[in-house]
Structure 1
Amino acid sequence: MNRGRKFGDVKRMTVNGGSGVEEDTTFSNLAQFNGPETALDIDPGAENTCTNFANTEIYRQLRPLLICMRLFGLFFRRTIDTKGRPYMEPVVMYCFIVNFLNVLNAIRSFTVYSSSDEFDSVMVQKLLFTIWSSECTFKGLLLMWNCYKQDGLPKFFLEWDAVCGNVKLSKVCMFMMKKYIFLSFIFIGVNSIVFTLTLIYVPMLETIYLEVVWKNALEFKNNLHFKMILTFLAVLNSSSSMFPMSLFIVLSFAIGRRLKKYTDELVLAMSFEGFNEKLEDFRIRHQNLCKIVHILDSIFAPMLAAVYIANIPMFCLVLYTMVTTLDLHLSILLINLFWLSFILLQMTLVSITAAWVNVQAHSPLEHIYTIRFSRSSNDTQLQMFMFLNRLTGTQVGLSAMKLFVVDKPTILTIAGMMITYFVLLIEFKMPADTNCACHVNGTIVMDNSTLLISHVSYT
């Protein structure tokens, strides 16, 4: 490793403003970039003086997504005003009403069952609606709670501002945010339109879905209001499902990019003479980034668990319905394909994003192993041991309800679990052939009794 250059050759570059650009770290003797540049900030003692997260740079850049969430009652600001008093936006009442309707919808989905129900296509749709409504309600309530409590989203924005300052998000991150806003509205529109057209033009599915939306709905002569309720609930559930997931992916990708930038800076700094004396600064910087990951995990860990708990059985039920109802109607197949694609897409995006954060958080490990510390002071070696213990002793990443951290092996485990459950469901469905006719023939004598029995033949 080249130690010919001194670590003091690194100079702090000024930050040029540019919307949607994540500043890159460089050194004075490296080739200059053609765009905005920033410094190698190794000062771990920066304090956060901002008390209102609405004034932070990351909040301003995420405002398009947050405005869309506010439109569907999924986000509000609870901050500290200029006089130091707590302030909550009036839109909180609208958010409360939306989430209250979601709760009523989830409760309603449990009232459509009866003891005489059979496991048929109607029962499968009832189960899907119950799981789907419960998942969406939980996501909405979780997001509202994290908007309200100070150690939720407000703490994340303030901690990001304390660690990263005014560093702007990358163009890729901003593009992802716009893409997920677009996908969210597409899903809300398609899901609502599909259900509306289904209820109007497909009599077979109208019978199924009316029975799902309300118990004994088919007994009423005028079903229009039930159809309107179902369409409205589809809009609420779709928004409560997509926007929390979009916020999770964008924030996770943002912190993943910061971890990647940190590793790149670490690798470059290791080539300079005197790096060992600066190891403590890099260790504390990594610890500060891990603290942001921990805050993000405390916000979204319950949502990750809800995604897995809800989507695995939904995947099995939808795939089961596709296999067993291929001959019923083309619209059933198309709807099931739509839902299957959404379930797989949601679980894939959430899992891959969380696993990527885990990989980036531990990426400095392989580079730390290459540093020579044989002639370093005891204090420097102690810092190295502390750094290695942080990287190897605990898993840094996003978890599902703090039960397990999502990493690359987790994705394979979940995929195998989904396939196994589906195969078991198909096996339980296969009925045995019980149609047979028996003809009695012959005599059997047992003690003093005589029993006539037949030669059994099956037809």
Structure 2
Amino acid sequence: MPSRKISVTTVGMISGLESSKMSWGSEHSNDKLTPQEVKRSNCLVSALRPLLLSMSLVGLFDIWKIQKYGQEPRAHRRAFFKLYQIFIICLFVFNLIRFFFAFQSFEFGSELLATVLLQTWFMLCTSYALICYKMIENPTALIRFFTQWQKYWSLVRDLTGECSKEQACSWKRIRKYASVATVIGWSIVIGNVGFCSYTIITGTAFTNMLDPFSRSHYLFPLTLSIFHVIILYLSCAWSFITAFMIVLILSLYQEFKHFAERLENLTHDKPIPEVQENLEAMRVEHNALCNMIDTADGVLKHLVGLCLVVHVFITLILIYNICWYEVIRTDIGQLVSHIFWLSGNSSMLIAMMAVCCMVNIQAHEPAKFIHNLSMKEITAEFALQVNVFLHRLNGAPIGITAWSLFVIDNQVVVSVAGMIATYFVVLLQFQQASTTTNSSVNGTVV
């Protein structure tokens, strides 16, 4: 790596070049984006195009608005797409309100939990759609995040002299992630629609799925067709928005990983003067990555929080129903359907927590290399650089949060796993107690 000497005389003070390059990190106070910034953001939008295009086709995103942000759009096209998004949200809200009529009995049991399961899933997908609509209507934060990513690579080239090959590899990797996520997303959508269709037609496990519309009504075929359309769009919201979160966070992890590898190469078995000449540049780059994380968290924190909480709840209900709902255990089709839903739900939950945890770990990884530096014959200037860097690395957790309440790290993953195991045991004990009580009552009656 070509060296670049940077002089630091006070804490946080960097040279004029680095100051100008890092000025974009404090742009959050300015909501206006220049045409150059919008153009930069299109690089990442292009890399994510397969996924964003699929989301746009089902009214969850507007890739064309992001690409043409700040330009005068075609009024009729923009109005049509906005109405399309609003129509999808209204469809979700109508379905959510309709299904409240399915709660005819609140007696605890598998049937009530199955109804709660569906209503919770409807609420999750509706909330996803509303958050994405708000994100697109005011896309400044999202575009700023895309812009910061491009500026980060410009900063890397200016400070290290690295060629654009690394950046091209980064965009290709993101495109690969987006393409794979799109294929998996459509597979989940097709599978979910198929299993929901089977459940509706058989009418065994979810007898109230179409309430308050009766199966005996002469318009039942039309009602069934409309509900299939709703299920299709709900499935798209469930799979594609989760995939969007995972792809973005996984891509951020790769950037931190690439940074940690370059820092390790810089500090491993290198003389202190050479390390000193480049350490401040690396600190500036890490600062840029942390700013990207902060902006990404502002965009994703509500989606991540919903994904974490609701998927844990749905996972518990699915496990309980598979174990104790007799209709599901005796019908192979229903059993396969619930196993599919449990696999998809738990996979999304695990993947989301895993990538968030990986970002948190990798963001603090440079501390290990800094601690391994030799402290012999170091100057006061270099000691100051090391202290400033370590203060950030050992300070507040860096990562993606759930509603800004807590950073999702390995402790959260362990806590969620423990919570699922604990509440599953509680549910099993509750069921066993209920079964024992019913047996005693029956024996007394006899």
**2:112 aligned residue:** 123
Higher relative contact order (CA 8 A, sep 6+): 2
Q: How many angstroms does 1:189 deviate by?
A: 1.0
Larger Rg: 1
Instruction: Give ranges in structure 1 of 5+ residues lacking alignment.
Output: 10-41, 439-457
Q: Distance in 1 between matches of 2:213 and 2:374?
A: 75
Q: Distance in 2 between matches of 1:437 and 1:388?
A: 70
- 2:45–2:146 contact (8 Å) kept in structure 1: yes
**2:10 aligned residue:** none
Matched, 1:383 2:380: no
Q: How many angstroms does 1:377 deviate by?
A: 3.5
Distance verdict in 2 for CA 1:152–1:333, change over 3 Å: same
Q: Distance in 2 between matches of 1:81 and 1:429?
A: 56
Matched, 1:249 2:239: no
Provide, for residues 48-102 of structure 1, a one-character-per-residue CA deviation record: whole Å limited to 9, x for no partner. Answer: 7723257632222211211111001111154596987689861233222212222
Q: Distance in 1 between matches of 2:74 and 2:97?
A: 32
**1:400 aligned residue:** 402
Q: Distance in 1 between matches of 2:126 and 2:234?
A: 7
- 1:301–1:398 contact (8 Å) kept in structure 2: yes
Q: Distance in 2 between matches of 1:363 and 1:315?
A: 32
**2:182 aligned residue:** 181
**2:145 aligned residue:** 156
What fraction of aligned residue pairs are identical, expressed as a percent?
22
Matched, 1:370 2:376: no
RMSD: 2.8
Q: Distance in 1 between matches of 2:124 and 2:260?
A: 36
What TM-score, normalized by structure 2, do the two folds share? 0.81
**1:58 aligned residue:** 44
Matched, 1:426 2:415: no
Q: How many angstroms does 1:141 deviate by?
A: 1.5
**1:204 aligned residue:** 204
**2:310 aligned residue:** 310
Q: Distance in 1 between matches of 2:45 and 2:213?
A: 48
Q: How many angstroms does 1:412 deviate by?
A: 1.7
Distance verdict in 2 for CA 1:81–1:238, change over 3 Å: closer
2:102 aligned residue (112, 117, 121): 112
Q: How many angstroms does 1:398 deviate by?
A: 0.8
Distance verdict in 2 for CA 1:436–1:145, change over 3 Å: closer
Q: Distance in 1 between matches of 2:418 and 2:426?
A: 12
Q: Distance in 1 between matches of 2:143 and 2:219?
A: 48
1:215 aligned residue (184, 204, 212): 212
Instruction: Give ranges in structure 2 of 5+ residues lacking alignment.
Output: 6-16, 25-33, 155-163
Matched, 1:416 2:422: no
Q: How many angstroms does 1:186 deviate by?
A: 0.9
Q: Secondary structure at the match of 2:402?
A: coil
- 2:200–2:209 contact (8 Å) kept in structure 1: no
Matched, 1:100 2:90: yes
Matched, 1:265 2:270: no
Q: Distance in 2 between matches of 1:437 and 1:368?
A: 72
Q: Distance in 2 between matches of 1:170 and 1:43?
A: 24
**2:233 aligned residue:** 236
- Write the letter of the residue equivalent to 2:355: T
Q: Distance in 2 between matches of 1:117 and 1:221?
A: 29
Q: Secondary structure at the match of 2:378?
A: coil
What TM-score, normalized by structure 1, do the two folds share? 0.79
- 2:41–2:150 contact (8 Å) kept in structure 1: no
Q: Distance in 1 between matches of 2:122 and 2:69?
A: 40
Provide, for residues 320-375 of structure 1, a one-character-per-residue CA deviation record: whole Å limited to 9, x for no partner. Answer: 11111345422221111111111110111101111111111111010011223454
1:75 aligned residue (37, 61, 70): 61
**2:192 aligned residue:** 191
Q: Distance in 2 between matches of 1:70 and 1:82?
A: 15
- 2:92–2:234 contact (8 Å) kept in structure 1: yes
**1:352 aligned residue:** 354
- Write the letter of the residue equivalent to 1:265: R
Q: Distance in 2 between matches of 1:171 and 1:52?
A: 20
- The number of aligned residues is 399
Q: Distance in 2 between matches of 1:341 and 1:228?
A: 27
Q: How many angstroms does 1:124 deviate by?
A: 2.2
**1:320 aligned residue:** 320
**1:293 aligned residue:** 293
**1:448 aligned residue:** none
- 1:252–1:354 contact (8 Å) kept in structure 2: yes
Q: Which piece of structure 1 moves more, 73-82 or 224-233?
A: 73-82
Q: Distance in 1 between matches of 2:70 and 2:54?
A: 29
- Write the letter of the residue equivalent to 1:194: F
Q: How many angstroms does 1:170 deviate by?
A: 5.5
- Write the letter of the residue equivalent to 2:214: A
What are the equivalent positions in structure 2 for 1:275-290 lying under 5 Å apart?
A: 275-290=275-290
Provide, for residues 275-305 of structure 1, a one-character-per-residue CA deviation record: whole Å limited to 9, x for no partner. Answer: 2143222111101001111111111111121
- 1:78–1:148 contact (8 Å) kept in structure 2: no
Provide, for residues 124-147 of structure 1, a one-character-per-residue CA deviation record: whole Å limited to 9, x for no partner. Answer: 221111100111111121122222
Distance verdict in 2 for CA 1:78–1:437, change over 3 Å: closer
Q: Distance in 2 between matches of 1:94 and 1:395?
A: 40
Distance verdict in 2 for CA 1:187–1:148, change over 3 Å: same
Provide, for residues 104-124 of structure 1, a one-character-per-residue CA deviation record: whole Å limited to 9, x for no partner. Answer: 22232333223x443344322
Structure showing the higher helix proportion among its residues: 2
Matched, 1:134 2:123: yes
